[in-house]
Amino acid sequence: MEETEGGDFLPKGPQQSEATPPAAVDFPVRNPARQLDFTGLGDGASSSVGLALLEVSQPQQSQTPSHLIQQQQQQQLVKPKNQPPKPPPLPQMPFLTMQQAPQPAVSSPHPSVRPAVKPESPRARPRQNLAEVNDGTPKKQKQCNCKHSRCLKLYCECFASGVYCDGCNCVNCHNNIENDDARREAVEATLERNPQAFRPKIASSPHGARDFREETGEGVVLAKHNKGCHCKKSGCLKKYCECFQANILCSENCKCLDCKNYEGSEERQALFHGDHAHNMAYIQQAANAAITGAIGSSGYGSPPVNKKRKGQELFFGSTVKDPVHKIRQFQQADQVKASLPSSSLPLIPGAFAGNALTLGPSKFTYRSLLAGIIQPEDLKELCSVLVVYSGEAAKMLAEERKAAEIQAENSSETLAASSVQDQCQSRKNAEAEKPLIDDLSSGNQAETKNSEESTSNGADESKGRPMSPSTLALMCDEQATIFTPAASPNELSGQSSVTTQLLNRQDLSGTYAEQERIVLTKFRDCLNRLITSGEIKETKYSSLAQTESYQQNEPTSNGVRTDIRSPRQPISNGVEKLVFNFNQPGHIQ
C-alpha cells in the first residue's frame, strides 16, 4: 500500500490522463518521483524488460535535468541504512522527478480522516522538499518497510511504483542501483507474471473530469481502478482499499463485498464530513430508505453530479444482500444516468440505467421501483397539503355543526335545514379546495424550481430534506391546534352555557376525528397512487428489460432511450400526478 503524504487522499500516483495514450502507460506512471521510465516497452516487451527506459527518449547524463541530478545526489545522502552510498544513477536508470511528473488527476482535498503524515525517518525528510503537489501540500515519497521481499516484489511500494528505494526503512533492500541486476530480473519476472504490473492502477474516466460536491466537500473523482479492489471487510472505506486510498469510487471493476465506497453512500459521506447534523440526516435517510424503499437519494440533498457508480446493477437481480445498500447504489446509478452524456450510454431504462462502461457481470442489485419517484419537495408538499386539509376540514366541520345547531333550534324547519347543510358543505368543499389549489400550484412551482436547482448544482439540503413521518405527524398536530380553535366558531359565539360548552367539546372531539379521517384518507390516496406509479414503472421496465437484451448493442436505439428519464422528470415522477389528484374535490369525503 502506498501512502500519500499529507493524509490527504491523493492517489497513489498520477492518474493516467487522456493525454497519455494507453500504449504509453503500460508501465508505471503513477509515482513519477524517481520513477523508472518503462516507456518504450510495450506490453509484449516484458522479455526485454530490463528497464530500458528513459534512455530511449531521454538519453543520458548530458540530458539529465539538473534537478534530477540533485535528487540523485540526495539519494546518496539519504540512502537507507545498510545501504552503501549510491553511485550516481546509471544511465539506464533515469529518474523522473515530481516536477516532471504529471500531476495526479486526483488532487482532491480529501477531508482528512487520518493524520496527515506518515512517520518517517529523519533521513527521509530532505526528500520532502523535492516533491510538491500543486496545492502546496508537500508530497513525500513514501518509504517502504519491506523486510522479506527485498523490495523486489510488488509488495514493495517503491518497486511497484518503479522507483528506487530511497530513505526507506526496508531491510535487505535490493531495489537500488547496487542491485540493479537483481532488480532487473525482478522486474522481468514481475512483468512476466503480469505485463501490466507497472501500469497505473487508477485510470481516469473517459470524461476526465472530477466533480466537487459542494454539499460534502468531497471530491468525486471520475476515475477507476483498473483492476478493481477485492475488499471483503473494510467496506472499501479504509485505506486498505486501493480505490478508497486513491480517493475514487469503487467501480464495476471491483469485486468487493459490502462496498460502501460509492456515490451517495451514507457511510462514505459521513466519513467525509463527519458533521453530526449530517450524520443524523444520513441516519434518518437510511432509516427512511429502509422503511419506505421509495425515496430517491436525490431527495436527501444529494446533488446529481457526474458519478461513477458501483457496478452495474441488474434491476431484477436476485442476489440482493443489503436492500438499503443496493437501493443507494441504484440511486447513484440514476444520477449517473442523468448526468452522463447520452452518447456514451446504452441508456438502460430506469433502474437499469448506468454507464455502458460500468456494465459488468458482477453486481446485481435491486432498486425499488418507487425510488426517485418522491422528491423531498414532494414530501414537504404532501405535508403542507395534509395540514391544509386538516385545517379546512376543521372549518368545514365547524360550519356543519353550527348549521346543525341552528337547524336544531329551528326544529320546525328540519327539512329546510338539511338542504342548507348540504349547500353549506358543498360550498365549504369548494372553498376548501381553493386554497389547496393555490398552495399546490405554488408548491409545484417550487418543486420545479428545486428540481432544476438540484439537477444543475446539487441539492439544497436546507430545503431539500424531506421530513420524517414523525416530523410530519408533529407538524400536522401542531397545525391542527392552530387551525381547529379558529375553525370552531362555536367557541366564539358567546354561548357560554354548560350545555353549550359540553356540546362544543363533543363537537371539537368529533371535529378532530373527522379531521383525522380526512387527512388519513388523503394520505391513503397518496400512497395508493404511489403504489400505482411503482406498478406502472415496473411494467414499463419489465418490457424494456426484455427489449434491452436485444438492443444492448445499439445504445442510442430509440425505444429505450426515449423512455429513460430522470426520476425528477414529471412523467416518471408520479408525485405530480398525485398532487393534482389531491385537488380533485371528489376526493374530499
Partner DNA sequence: GAGTTTGAAACT
Partner DNA sequence: CAGTTTCAAACTC
Grid coordinates 519476472 are at which residue?
A: 189
Q: From 174-182, 205-213, 230-238, 341-349, give the range in contact with DNA by CB under 7 A.
A: 230-238
Closest distance of CB 6 from DNA, Å:
12
3-state secondary structure of 548: helix
d(CA 566, CA 569): 5
Asked if residue 197 binds DNA (CB under 7 A), the reply is yes
Closest distance of CB 199 from DNA, Å:
10
Closest distance of CB 154 from DNA, Å:
3
Using CB under 7 A as the criterion, what x/- string covers residues 140-169 for binding DNA?
----xxxxxx-x-xxxxx--x---------
Asked if residue 81 binds DNA (CB under 7 A), the reply is no
Using CB under 7 A as the binding criterion, the count of chain residues that bind DNA stands at 39
Which residue, 325 or 337, is less far from DNA as judged by CB?
Answer: 325
Strand partners, 366: 316
**Among 86, 201, 325, 428, contact with DNA (rule: CB under 7 A):** 201
Burial (CB < 10 A; 0-12, 13-18, 19+), residue 414, is exposed
Asked if residue 232 binds DNA (CB under 7 A), the reply is yes
Angle at the Cα of 230 from the Cα atoms of 225 and 234, rounded to 5 degrees: 105
3-state secondary structure of 351: helix
Which residue, 181 or 409, is less far from DNA as judged by CB?
Answer: 181
Cβ atoms 249, 269 nearer than 8 A = no
Contacts of 349 (CB under 8 A, 6+ apart): 540, 541, 544, 545, 548, 560, 563, 564
Closest distance of CB 483 from DNA, Å:
52
Closest distance of CB 219 from DNA, Å:
18
**Among 67, 114, 273, 587, contact with DNA (rule: CB under 7 A):** 114
Q: From 30-38, 231-239, 355-363, 517-525, give the range in contact with DNA by CB under 7 A.
A: 231-239
d(CA 187, CA 580): 69
Asked if residue 238 binds DNA (CB under 7 A), the reply is yes
Which residue, 197 or 371, is less far from DNA as judged by CB?
Answer: 197
Contacts of 430 (CB under 8 A, 6+ apart): 585
Q: From 111-119, 290-298, 321-329, 521-529, give the range in contact with DNA by CB under 7 A.
A: 111-119
Asked if residue 245 binds DNA (CB under 7 A), the reply is yes
Which residue, 170 or 281, is less far from DNA as judged by CB?
Answer: 170
d(CA 204, CA 170): 32
Asked if residue 203 binds DNA (CB under 7 A), the reply is no
3-state secondary structure of 118: coil
Closest distance of CB 559 from DNA, Å:
34
Asked if residue 190 binds DNA (CB under 7 A), the reply is yes
d(CA 383, CA 377): 10
Burial (CB < 10 A; 0-12, 13-18, 19+), residue 21, is exposed
**Among 60, 61, 194, 419, contact with DNA (rule: CB under 7 A):** 194
Radius of gyration for the chain, computed over Cα atoms and rounded to the nearest angstrom: 33
d(CA 351, CA 365): 9
Asked if residue 229 binds DNA (CB under 7 A), the reply is yes
Which residue, 193 or 434, is less far from DNA as judged by CB?
Answer: 193
Helix 414-457 / helix 575-582 crossing angle, nearest 10 deg: 160
Which residue, 201 or 522, is less far from DNA as judged by CB?
Answer: 201
Residue 69, Cβ neighbours under 10 Å: how many? 14
Asked if residue 377 binds DNA (CB under 7 A), the reply is no
Cβ atoms 398, 489 nearer than 8 A = yes
Question: What does the binding site for DNA look like in residue numbers (CB under 7 A)?
Answer: 1-3, 114, 118-119, 144-149, 151, 153-157, 160, 189-190, 193-194, 197, 201, 227, 229-234, 236, 238-242, 245
